[in-house]
Amino acid sequence: QVQLAESGGGLVQVGGSLRLSCVVSGFTLDDYSIGWFRQVPGKEHEGVSCMSSSDGSTYYADSVKGRFTISRDNAKNTVYLQMNSLKPEDTAIYFCATPFRERCLGVNGMDYWGQGTLVTVSN
């Protein structure tokens, strides 16, 4: 059974940093790509980042490029999202997700995701 469990969300001030973590089970990061999307309640979700399992290629939404970094520890079946220079518009629920394929479909096309973790960026 595919499961993803996020942690690390919280309240942070503008310009601050947070690191989100996600432990996966039911599949391995050696074989399947992994990523993140976010959603503000009442709005469409937005793909944030993805890392391909095959060659480690990374993809980022333009809105987070240069500020967010995705990484993974295959031995721990854990993926991370380091978020720096946070802005109020980054406030959202962040979901760890997988397109359940070897390569990312950009930052979209996710098939499985976790329960999400809330990130709030305050002025």
3-class DSSP string for the chain = CCEEEEECCEEEECCCCEEEEEEEECCCCCCCCEEEEEECCCCCCEEEEEECCCCCCEEECCCCCCCEEEEEEHHHCEEEEEECCCCHHHCEEEEEEECCCCCCECCECCCEECCCEEEEEEC
Q: What is the average per-residue pLDDT within 108-117?
A: 95
Q: What pLDDT sits at residue 63?
A: 97
Q: Which tens digit of pLDDT belongs to each residue from 38-57?
A: 999 999 999 999 999 989 99
pLDDT by residue (tens digit) across 1-28? 999 999 999 999 999 999 999 999 999 9
